[in-house]
Amino acid sequence: MKKSKWLLFLLAVVLVLTSGIGAASAYFTTYATARGGYVIRLGERTEIEERVDSGKKIITIKNNDDSDNPVFVRVSAYAGSAYPLTFTPGDGWVEDTGKPGFWRYTKPVLPGKSTDTPLTITIDYGSDHKADEHFNVIVVHESVPALYVDDHYDIDASWSLGKVTVIEEGGSQS
């Protein structure tokens, strides 16, 4: 009987002493230091350039100077159902059949440059619109790096890589 008491006591002491080993082990296996660093870029940066003039929103997209690659862009806009929008594309803009409601710019936008021509969005105020009435027209644009395939930039191949799409929103009251 005495032997079993000592064995039970010894087992209790071992359990108490080993209960903190897991936390200490975790500390020593996860602690690390590092020096130096690398810049990681998660996509090209583009900006909406927009202005409102006489019930029209005039949109161009700029590929920022810090981008390394040309990009392809596409744009859509949304407003309340009481204010229908009409899109008037400039040269190079086409309706995107792969993504209804979006207009795609067919030329690559080089770093530091903007789309050559604007996409104009006309806002149909209707006859009951008051001059001091404000509302939002939300403009959404997406961009993907332009892929150079064979001897040209391939717009369809670029958009097939939808996982690298960057979405930003811009909106103004008009």
The string of pLDDT tens digits covering residues 145-173 is 888 777 777 777 667 765 334 444 444 44
**Number of Cβ atoms within 10 Å of the Cβ of 142:** 22
Measured in degrees and rounded to the nearest 5, phi and psi for residue 37 equal 180, 170
C-beta of residue 82 within 8 angstroms of C-beta of residue 75: no
The answer to whether residues 101 and 52 belong to one domain is: yes
The pLDDT assigned to 164 comes to 39
Residue 40 forms part of a structural domain:
no
CATH code assigned at 165: 2.60.40
C-alpha dihedral over 117, 64, 99, 151, to 10 degrees? 80
Number of domains in the chain: 2
The answer to whether residues 163 and 112 belong to one domain is: yes
Residue 38 forms part of a structural domain:
no
C-beta of residue 134 within 8 angstroms of C-beta of residue 174: yes
Range of the domain at 100: 46-173
Q: Model pTM greater than 0.75? A: no
The answer to whether residues 53 and 119 belong to one domain is: yes
Query: Can you read off the two tokens belonging to residue 157?
Result: 């191949």
DSSP state of 74: E
The answer to whether residues 113 and 162 belong to one domain is: yes
Mean of the per-residue pLDDT values for the chain?
76
Residue 62 forms part of a structural domain:
yes
Q: Average pLDDT for residues 108-119, to the nearest whole number? A: 92
C-beta of residue 61 within 8 angstroms of C-beta of residue 170: no
Asked if pLDDT for residue 129 goes beyond 50, the answer is: yes
What is d(CA 80, CA 124) in angstroms, rounded to the nearest whole number?
11
Q: Average pLDDT for residues 24-43, to the nearest whole number? A: 59
Residue 85 forms part of a structural domain:
yes
Evaluated on CA atoms 94, 64, 76, 58, the torsion sign reads negative
